[in-house]
Chain A
Amino acid sequence: MRTETNKDASLRVVVAAEDPDVREQIVQMVQREPGVNVIALAENATKAIALTWTLRPEVTVVDSQLPYYSGLDDVRLSRIGGLDTAMTILHEIPASRTILLSNTKSAFLQGHLTGSTTELVSYTREACVPIELRKLAGESESERMVFGDVWLTEATPSGSKAVEIGDTMMGVGGLAVAGGMVLIIMMFTAIAGAALASVGIVTIVMGMVIRTTASWWNRAALTKG
């Protein structure tokens, strides 16, 4: 029974997904929530149920395309064990909460390609709602099994500020070049105009360098997770 004194204790999670990259992505995603700790990983239904029975995690995250024993490439039906795993945990470990994910692999792949971050959401009657694992595990009235998915969000990495600075510099540099051109045309201010245009060009170039570097850095950071 969860009590107020356990509020600060680490929330223990077991993750079950066949693909090791998908497992790792789920781990990184859930551990973004403070106080959440993934204590074990399972690559099939049999192991997931055994681990959950032994370790009694507060939450288990299960991929719907989990094989019972081993996924076989030419056998589509070898990867349909996720729902049964979740229902077994629901039946045998009443205190645990289970999240069943529908489209993990395709969502993470899409996230890599677009540079978006991923988050865990649950399908409610009205919409998709981000899941807070501590809240899910802490509320006795919450659903014991949640149907959810991995959703992509806008990429908001820490380097986006640098991208904005680069964009601003390019904009200001462009205005300086235009202003310098106008002054040059006026002949008697040609020297000032040339100087302003030169400063504008340098500013544009610096802005492009900052933006490109920041974008590359952001993408590398997201890919690394």
Chain B
Amino acid sequence: MIDDRLLRQCSVFKELSESQLSRVGDVCQSEQYEAGAPVFMEKSPAGTFYVLEEGKVALQIQLPAAQGGSTRRATIDISSDSDVFGWSSLVDSRRYTLTAICLEPTKVIAIDGAGLKALLSEDHDIGYHVLNSLIKVVASRLDETRQLLVSERVLSL
């Protein structure tokens, strides 16, 4: 049983009422991973949305393989306490677009993607609050990525 206070600390769920949080909690479970273990791999079926409770998770993208070379991955973000990742489970892509690797022993709240999508569809109030908050998180990440691109471009000139 997930403590609703943990969900409340996450920016995506902080606008929900107690009863709404409880309904989200019904589709959650706690999971633990060792340092170095993957939470999910890129291109694997995206069934779970994650809230990071404790630890650090590096999100990596597969790089195009050089001719005759092996594939490598590049880190594009590091998630820490209360961050969310695994958004692909909430959209129709159905496959994760990134690999998530734990940098230390990690505890997550694993939210069943199908269950959460059904809840968002059934209760429009929850749906609005969650998706509105998620948009802000995505926008913030996009902004950070943009800052990084611009700064690296400036540094290379």
Tell whether, in the assembled complex, residue A77 and residue B77 are in contact, meaning their CB atoms are under 8 Å apart. yes
Assembled-state Cα–Cα distance A122/B99 (Å): 22
Tell whether, in the assembled complex, residue A77 and residue B155 are in contact, meaning their CB atoms are under 8 Å apart. no
The verdict on A183 contacting chain B, using a C-beta distance below 8 Å, is no
Tell whether, in the assembled complex, residue A149 and residue B104 are in contact, meaning their CB atoms are under 8 Å apart. yes
Tell whether, in the assembled complex, residue B103 and residue A83 are in contact, meaning their CB atoms are under 8 Å apart. yes
Q: Considering the complex, give the chain B residue whose CB is closest to the CB of A64.
A: B103
Q: Interface with A: B8-16, B19-27, B129-137, B140-148, which one?
A: B140-148
The verdict on B56 contacting chain A, using a C-beta distance below 8 Å, is yes
Shortest CB-to-CB span from A159 to chain B, Å, is 33
Tell whether, in the assembled complex, residue B144 and residue A76 are in contact, meaning their CB atoms are under 8 Å apart. yes
Shortest CB-to-CB span from A194 to chain B, Å, is 62
Interface of A is mostly: mixed
Per-residue CB contact flags for chain B residues 103-116 toward chain A (1 = under 8 Å, else 0) read: 11100000000000
Residues of chain A within 8 A of B145, CB atoms compared: 77
Interface extent on A, as a size class?
Answer: 20 to 34
Tell whether, in the assembled complex, residue A87 and residue B103 are in contact, meaning their CB atoms are under 8 Å apart. no
Shortest CB-to-CB span from B77 to chain A, Å, is 6
Tell whether, in the assembled complex, residue B78 and residue A80 are in contact, meaning their CB atoms are under 8 Å apart. yes
Tell whether, in the assembled complex, residue A100 and residue B34 are in contact, meaning their CB atoms are under 8 Å apart. no
Assembled-state Cα–Cα distance A77/B104 (Å): 19
Shortest CB-to-CB span from B153 to chain A, Å, is 12
Tell whether, in the assembled complex, residue A81 and residue B104 are in contact, meaning their CB atoms are under 8 Å apart. no
Per-residue CB contact flags for chain B residues 59-82 toward chain A (1 = under 8 Å, else 0) read: 010000000001011111110000
Shortest CB-to-CB span from A64 to chain B, Å, is 5
Shortest CB-to-CB span from A102 to chain B, Å, is 4
Tell whether, in the assembled complex, residue B72 and residue A87 are in contact, meaning their CB atoms are under 8 Å apart. yes
Assembled-state Cα–Cα distance A87/B152 (Å): 22
The verdict on A216 contacting chain B, using a C-beta distance below 8 Å, is no
Residues of chain B within 8 A of A148, CB atoms compared: 35
Tell whether, in the assembled complex, residue B75 and residue A83 are in contact, meaning their CB atoms are under 8 Å apart. yes
Residues of chain B within 8 A of A64, CB atoms compared: 56, 58, 78, 103
Given contacts A100-B103, A123-B34, A149-B104, contact A81 B75 (CB under 8 A): yes
Given contacts A83-B58, A102-B103, contact A78 B70 (CB under 8 A): no
Shortest CB-to-CB span from A166 to chain B, Å, is 39
Tell whether, in the assembled complex, residue A91 and residue B155 are in contact, meaning their CB atoms are under 8 Å apart. no
Assembled-state Cα–Cα distance A91/B72 (Å): 9
Q: Considering the complex, give the chain B residue whose CB is closest to the CB of A122.
A: B35
Residues of chain A within 8 A of B77, CB atoms compared: 77, 80
Q: Considering the complex, give the chain A residue whose CB is closest to the CB of B103.
A: A102
Shortest CB-to-CB span from B139 to chain A, Å, is 15
Q: Considering the complex, give the chain B residue whose CB is closest to the CB of A72.
A: B151
A–B Cβ pairs within 8 angstroms, 8 of them? A64-B56, A70-B155, A75-B147, A77-B147, A78-B151, A80-B77, A81-B75, A102-B35
Task: List chain B positions with a Cβ less than 8 A from chain A.
Answer: 34-36, 56, 58, 60, 70, 72-78, 101-105, 144-145, 147-148, 151-152, 155
